[in-house]
Amino acid sequence: MCLHSEWTAASSALSHSALLPCPPAEATGLALGLDRVWLDYANILALRALFFIPHGIVPTMSVEAEQSQSIDRQFEELLERLPAEPEARELVRHAYEVAKRFHSDQVRKSGEAYLEHPIAVANLLVDLNMDVWSVAAGLLHDVLEDTTLTGDELASLFPAPVPALVQGVTKIGRIHFDTSREHQIENLRKIILAMAKDIRVLIIKLCDRLHNMRTLRPLAPERRIAISRETIDIYAPLANRLGMVRMKSELEDLAMHWLYPEEYQALSNALAKKRKVREQEVLESIEVLKTRLAKFGHENIEISGRSKHFYSIFRKMRDTGQSFDEIYDLNAVRVFCDTEAQCYEILGQIHSFWTPVPGRIRDYIGMPKPNMYQSLHTTVIGYNGMVTEIQIRTHEMHRVAEYGIAAHWKYKEGRLDQSVDRRLQWLRQVTEWITEVGDANSLLDALRKDVFADVVLCFTPKGDVIELPAEATPIDFAFAIHTKVGERCVGARINRRMATLRSRLKHGDVVEILTSNSGHPSRDWLDVAATGRAKSKIKHWLKSKEMETWVADGWSALWRVLKERNIEVTKSELETYLEKLKEPFRLQAVEDVLAEIGFGSISPQAALTRMNPEWSRARRLAKKKSKARRQEELVSIEGMEDLQVRIANCCKPIPGDPIVGFVTRGRGITVHSRRCPSVARMQADPEDAPRLLPARWNVSEPIVSNVFLRIEAYDRNDLLMEITQEFSRQNIFILQCQTRSDKRKNIAVIRMEADVSDLRQVDNVLEGIRNVSGVVRAGRTNRFLA
């Protein structure tokens, strides 16, 4: 009878779960949430009845129910951190309920409930003091990408700007960086355009990326590396550009852990060995500094220590070639005060009792960094003769230094301060030309220079500040002022002295642009300009004035390559193929494609490969056929006819090299470069010297030849990319590339095989490579041998 009564009660509970004290799903918005918890409890009642569980024992909650309660607690803790306004909390609660409903059955690779990720992202946004719409969007940032919820449904559930923020983050996330290079660059384009519409999109994405990096371990090794590379190349520089230094540093350190595990561990061990000694030295310096500054009336200032981040140390060692023991600024002392005037007072007072190191004083208060960073920096011979870096700033400056643009966000209005909004002028300039650039490589090159590169701040004669990349010239300065100023530029004065348009601008230069109504851009300017904006405007002007010339040059370049590959195609067929290139290169007409080819923005080889992949194989067949030609047609040997002639493999001379012929025993004549070491040995040998004969090239037009190059450089990020860009600028096709890195010496050796048309092309590309930062030497070699 007891069993029957228990079972009846349990069955009733199962059949009439609405009788249980559970709030209706419609009231809470949790169609898949709390109601499931109560149904689980009903199931437990039935099981207890079935297995004779006494009433006095509290049933154990299911794993799913316990996990759900844990997530709810996490959200309630998040809610407590928000402002107390009921409307704000109601919006965020509604966002949580929708996210929970649609993510309820999803789990992460780690086994955790997926909902923990958006809650973590929302918490990071609260840490940055972002507005309530950003926090709500943070909770919802994955619903469009990973669930069945549509954009229209989201727009019906939430007020603006929440749906737009979620849409913006979704567009960025849909293409991943472990796919093709072009998809990577297209994703980068979307990031910049999304930033221009609402900078909050990028801030949400950065918080999303930071939490993903913190929880990267469960993924496969190749995914960890791909995501870390994307983070260190794209997201960390973007965080830095927005002044979010704390986030940038953590992203870099987390990425370094997976990209350079050996170096990370070695650095960790080295820092651990000296940590106690270094921390003690910093504490002693702080105490001495407090005591001495108190004598000047600064009793209430705050002083703390700052440790350099792992990746920052690693990059400095790599870029400078210094060992760990040679880096002395691993720690810095920070002094916080209330006003700018106090900052300068404290700087002078510190210099009165500790000797400053010459050339190590930086005033970022009078001239803030482009990412809004402000502080005074000085390096002194401090306590006990220890070289110490000291940073002096106000509390507000420190808040901006840590959180960047997020520190200026107005919570209630959901917008930026007007003064900070002006700081994003660079972003608007980038968006002016970013949609015009069709070639993926050109876009990435321009973004690296305009967005991610180090910058200089220069001034107009009236004192207006112009922000430019570190390699900028007066041409870039002119176009940054206005397109018309750039187009009419004829000269420049830098710091009141006449300067060439090729001059590199330095931090603090005062630049005056000289203009004339008869002035106009020239094609040479493209090699001088450093910014994507300037190059885009120059190309636009040139193409508008000389469109017919560039189209004709494009046709010529295509027919030349087709002839080299022995590909037969009619003009109408080629036009049909050219139609295929409009969309990938973001161009409107076939004439635009031809103009870009004639202009040099798109290489004819790359264009043909995109038109028809079969033509790549035709290129290899044409190359074999070209090599099989009798090489005696290329070279004339004085006094010799009808003898087999071959090009020596030891030096591989190309048309334009001074050459000499050597009569071999039974193998005809071998042609060497006059600079070949083998020729020097032959000349020194009495038996071989008479067999050397004068030779000359028998070539009247450019002919494709193989050349082998060897490059030595200090190893660093983007080295290979910058070197290959020089080949792209010369329209040189790279056949092979081998790299080797000596981590002990921090030297990279790169060997390349490429197709060139003449010696001038080789000289030009070598000159460009030697100008790449960090390159020690570059020259021709024999195949891939040293």
- The set of catalytic residues is 145-146
d(CA 665, CA 670): 10
β-strands 465-469, 489-494 pairing: unpaired
Q: What type of residue sits at position 738?
A: Q
Kindly list the distances between the CA atom of residue 250 and the CA atoms of 223, 384, 408, 551, in Å, as whole numbers in the listed order: 19, 32, 21, 49
d(CA 555, CA 564): 14
Is the link from the previous residue into 163 a cis peptide, with omega within 30 of 0?
no
Q: Phi and psi of 644, rounded to 5°?
A: -65, 130
d(CA 316, CA 252): 13
**Two structure tokens written together for 366:** 């009078």
Task: Tell which residue, 330, 342, 412, 407, has the closest CA to residue 371.
Answer: 407
Cβ pair 205, 214 in contact under 8 A = no
Kindly list the distances between the CA atom of residue 88 and the CA atoms of 162, 193, 286, in Å, as whole numbers in the listed order: 13, 28, 43
Question: Which are the contacts of 322, defined by CB distance < 8 A and separation ≥ 6?
Answer: 316
Q: What type of residue sits at position 544?
A: S
- The owner of tokens 């006094």 is 639
Q: Phi and psi of 699, rounded to 5°?
A: -120, 125
Q: Is 489 helix (H, G, I), strand (E, B) or coil?
A: strand
Helix (H) or strand (E) holding 739: strand 733-742
d(CA 249, CA 254): 9
Q: What's the sign of the alpha-carbon dihedral 775, 776, 781, 786?
A: negative
Question: Three-state SS across 369-394?
Answer: CCCCCCCEEEEEECHHHCEEEEEEEE
Note the Cα 133 to chain centre separation in Å. 28
**Two structure tokens written together for 352:** 């009165």
**Two structure tokens written together for 659:** 């050459």
Q: Phi and psi of 185, rounded to 5°?
A: -70, -35
Cβ pair 136, 110 in contact under 8 A = no
What's the alpha-carbon Rg for the chain, to the nearest Å? 33
Burial of 607 by CB count in 10 Å (0-12 exposed, 13-18 middle, 19+ buried)? buried
d(CA 483, CA 490): 14
Round to the nearest angstrom and report the end-to-end CA distance of the chain: 95
- Alpha helices by DSSP H, listed for 516-640, are 525-528, 532-564, 571-579, 590-599, 604-611, 614-628
β-strands 645-647, 669-673 pairing: parallel
Note the Cα 45 to chain centre separation in Å. 57
Our CA dihedral for 472, 476, 478, 479, rounded to 10 degrees, sits at: -160
Is the link from the previous residue into 161 a cis peptide, with omega within 30 of 0?
yes
Task: Tell me the sheet residues that pair with 741.
Answer: 748
**Two structure tokens written together for 301:** 């200032």
d(CA 203, CA 690): 75
